[in-house]
Amino acid sequence: MIVDFAIFPIGEGESLSSFVADAFKIIEESGLPYEHHSMGTNLEGDWDEVMSVIKACRDRMLEQSNRVSIAIKIDDRQGAKDRIRRKVASAKAKMNEPISPLK
């Protein structure tokens, strides 16, 4: 499954990069495939692996702040692997194809 999630503390000011940096460390140390983007992180693994990483990020953030916001979007497809890279590669490969008519 691929999870797109964003986590941040509430009530800690405008600049939250130090909190996010701690989450990045946890994500990197997990060994799961990931991609950071400006609004969150894509993370790939099975349910327990991914949720464990999100929980670890949450727990760390709650050590530094009383309130945390987490947004999670899940694409769960059985049997599929390495989708975090293959989905983008598939779309890019089709960029030179003619645009399909709208239905």
Q: pTM score > 0.85 for this model?
A: no
Domain with 9, as residue range(s), is 2-93
- Is 101 inside any structural domain? no
Residues 83, 44 contacting (CB under 8 angstroms): yes
Angle between helices 17-30 and 47-64 (to 10 degrees): 150
Domain count for the chain, please give it: 1
Q: Is residue 100 part of a domain?
A: no
Whole-angstrom distance, CA of residue 94 vs CA of residue 92:
5
> Is 89 contained in some domain?
yes
> Is residue 43 in some structural domain?
yes
**Which CATH number do you get for residue 49?**
3.30.70.930
Give dist(CA 102, CA 84) in Å, integer.
27
Q: How far apart are CA 25 and CA 42, in angstroms?
A: 14
pLDDT per residue over 9-52, tens digit each?
998 888 888 889 999 999 999 999 999 998 999 999 999 999 99
pLDDT, one tens digit per residue, over 67-89 is 999 999 999 988 878 778 777 77
